[in-house]
Structure 1
Amino acid sequence: MTDHVILGKGQIGSTVASILASRGERVRVLSRSGGPEQAGIEHVKVDARDAAALTAATKGADVIYNCANPAGYHQWADEWPPMFAAILAAAKAHGAGLVNTGNLYVYGPVTAPMTERTPLNSPGHKGQIRIKMWNDAMALHAAGDLRFTEARGSDYFGPGALADAMLGERVMRPVIEGKGVTVFGDLDAPHTFTYIPDVARALIRLGGDDRAWGRPWHVPSAPARSQREMIQEAARLLGRGPVRVSRLPWWVLINVVGAFAPAMKGMAETRHQWDGPYLMESHDFTDTFGDKATDTATALGETLDWWRARLA
């Protein structure tokens, strides 16, 4: 039986754990706060920035899935370097495969659909942090010290995605409550969104297939839709007519909201993702492994079901 260790118990890590546990696999979830035992899932409290503690907690791991993330953008510079160095050290110590949950920040502003061959040219601070993580891991992979791969998705949405997701609480709650929705960026620019259960399934697929190692993969994602289209589709699924959608100016988000929520200031670096078309292709994954994205209507329907249960 494969020993799976998951770092982080957020929406992605928890979904990975649930899927693996349902298959009867051995599953450990490591996080700073730990958690109560669940059927088939062991929770362990550990600070992932502590290399010695993390190496001890991951002993016996065959595959490590890094689904952890600092709480806010403003913490990336301080927390990611020691955390990822500790993760690499743990995977190397145990000879475990390491599957990293990535994103598209590494590419920076682009004018064409992103593929796994798009250059890593991000000029932004957060993108540069992610590029260094990728390069450090791939150097160890090339040296034969560990097996590494990364699953990259666009903006995540789905069950469990709360305030930090573009299609999280700021959209789902008002749509369910029959109110207007306020978002930022171009309301009608096509945008790739990636469904959280598809991310989890992709991570698991990569961790169990030797064809995955040594390169990045884009998570299967449905055809791009604009923010307005996603919001109106959600309203349609609820049996409602069109929802009023308005745009929040960037200066309000960064300067006003950012004064109370420091993480929002970090959105300035990624505004290119929302001010025009932002497209990601995932043909490589589907052509290689056969997995396809969940269709948008199904994904939004399951997301709305989760939110209605939460709000009830």
Structure 2
Amino acid sequence: MKIILGTGQLGMAIMENLLQTNPDESILLVNRAGKLDVSIPQNVEIMAADVTNRNDLETIAQRSELIFSCTDVPYPLWADFYPKTADALAFALSKSDAKLVFADNMYSYGNVQGAEMHEGMPHSAQTKKGQIRASVIQTLLQSGQSFSDRVAFVKAADFIGPRIYKGVFGTDFLEKLATGKRITLFGKAKLPHTFTYIRDFAKAMVNVGTSTDTFGEIWHVPNAPALNLLKWTQLFETEFNQKGKIWVLPKSVVWAAGLFDPLIREFYELSYQFEHPYLVNHDKYVARFGDHSTNPLAIARETSSWFKAKNSLV
């Protein structure tokens, strides 16, 4: 049985990818509520569990040969959630033979001043969230524990695609574009920025998880060519046949807004991502699996089609 911790956009995309390969795949979905608001096939189960609880995860790990971890919580909760989750996963792995593929981001590398990020970079972030992510890597992959050779990390850049409800090109952006409202972008909008298409992320997670020579390592998802925020916006404008009302917010305004809004204050810590080129190298993955990255035009088209269908705009 394959187990997916988390039923957000990535967890559901992993489920879909597994079922495309094998419609009869035995899958267990895990979230805190133990239920979904969408229908799932009979061979897919859903159960409630707390991923920060050692006993819950030990029980889950005993049922599976492969675990995909893709849970998340709002930024203000990270300092408590991720260390506990890493500890619970480490305990569960130590009590089972399960393998783990952990969905990660680029934060652990920190501000690399526009350099292309690759898997050999140190996890030397100075930001709070970057250090939290680096500590998870240390606990699960680099601590020298016997289970570490059954762990793989798959790192992605900022998400883009269907079911993305937060992020630069999430549903807030799409809603404002569709309705002619003002769209706020951050930082230097003419710098190239790598985005990860959610379905490419899911495929990379499955490819790494179902191979035998990928564990004990970090992998970067193959991504579309890095475009700047304005070029990405233009692709979506074409799909919606609508000119966006763009306002590029300077860093100083984000800082000021963070004095009053905790979520914006958390975002400000990561504003370096929009002050320098944000570039991700995926050569290692492509050499092993080939390049299945989706091109920007197809990303904009598929994302827009999903949003329009969801909101009865087609």
The TM-score range, normalised by the shorter chain, is over 0.9
1:1-312 to 2 correspondence within 5 Å? 3-22=1-20, 23=22, 24-36=24-36, 38-39=40-41, 40-70=43-73, 72-111=74-113, 112-139=115-142, 143-144=146-147, 147-162=150-165, 164-240=166-242, 242-256=243-257, 259-260=260-261, 262-312=262-312
Query: 1:255 offset after TM fit, Å?
Result: 4.2
The one-letter amino acid paired with 1:123 is: Q
Q: Secondary structure at the match of 2:237?
A: helix
Q: Secondary structure at the match of 1:187?
A: coil
Q: 1:144 to 1:58 in 2, by over 3 A?
A: closer
Query: 1:116 offset after TM fit, Å?
Result: 0.9
Query: 1:169 offset after TM fit, Å?
Result: 2.1
Q: 1:289 to 1:88 in 2, by over 3 A?
A: same
Q: Secondary structure at the match of 1:259?
A: coil
Query: Under a length normalisation based on structure 1, what TM-score does the superposition of the two structures give?
Result: 0.92
Q: 1:8 to 1:258 in 2, by over 3 A?
A: farther
Equivalent-residue separation in structure 1 for 2:148 and 2:110 (angstroms): 29
Equivalent-residue separation in structure 2 for 1:145 and 1:250 (angstroms): 40
The one-letter amino acid paired with 1:15 is: A
Q: 1:238 to 1:106 in 2, by over 3 A?
A: same
Query: 1:142 offset after TM fit, Å?
Result: 5.6
Q: Secondary structure at the match of 2:304?
A: helix
Instruction: State the aligned residue count.
Output: 306
Equivalent-residue separation in structure 1 for 2:193 and 2:245 (angstroms): 19
Q: Which moved more, 1:21-30 or 1:93-102?
A: 21-30
Query: Under a length normalisation based on structure 2, what TM-score does the superposition of the two structures give?
Result: 0.92
Q: Which moved more, 1:40-49 or 1:55-64?
A: 55-64
Deviation readout 1:219-238 (Å, 9 max, x if unpaired): 01001011111011111123
Query: 1:103 offset after TM fit, Å?
Result: 0.5
Equivalent-residue separation in structure 2 for 1:252 and 1:75 (angstroms): 24
The one-letter amino acid paired with 1:234 is: F
Query: 1:258 offset after TM fit, Å?
Result: 6.4
Q: Is the CA contact (8 Å cut-off) linking 1:114 and 1:280 kept in structure 2?
A: yes
The one-letter amino acid paired with 2:246 is: V
Gaps in structure 2 of 5+ consecutive residues? none
Equivalent-residue separation in structure 2 for 1:258 and 1:302 (angstroms): 37
Equivalent-residue separation in structure 1 for 2:119 and 2:148 (angstroms): 23
Equivalent-residue separation in structure 2 for 1:192 and 1:307 (angstroms): 22
Equivalent-residue separation in structure 2 for 1:224 and 1:245 (angstroms): 20
Equivalent-residue separation in structure 1 for 2:210 and 2:218 (angstroms): 15
Q: Secondary structure at the match of 1:210?
A: coil
Equivalent-residue separation in structure 2 for 1:62 and 1:232 (angstroms): 44
Query: 1:146 offset after TM fit, Å?
Result: 5.0
Q: Which moved more, 1:146-155 or 1:13-22?
A: 13-22
Q: Is the CA contact (8 Å cut-off) linking 1:141 and 1:147 kept in structure 2?
A: no
Query: 1:253 offset after TM fit, Å?
Result: 3.7
The one-letter amino acid paired with 1:244 is: K
Q: Secondary structure at the match of 1:288?
A: helix
Q: 1:27 to 1:254 in 2, by over 3 A?
A: farther
Deviation readout 1:187-210 (Å, 9 max, x if unpaired): 111100000011011000010111
The one-letter amino acid paired with 1:307 is: F
Query: 1:246 offset after TM fit, Å?
Result: 1.2
Deviation readout 1:54-82 (Å, 9 max, x if unpaired): 21133221110000012x11111111111
Equivalent-residue separation in structure 2 for 1:122 and 1:76 (angstroms): 15
The one-letter amino acid paired with 2:247 is: S
Equivalent-residue separation in structure 2 for 1:92 and 1:305 (angstroms): 44
Query: 1:254 offset after TM fit, Å?
Result: 4.5
Equivalent-residue separation in structure 1 for 2:116 and 2:154 (angstroms): 17
Query: 1:256 offset after TM fit, Å?
Result: 3.2
Q: Secondary structure at the match of 2:62?
A: coil
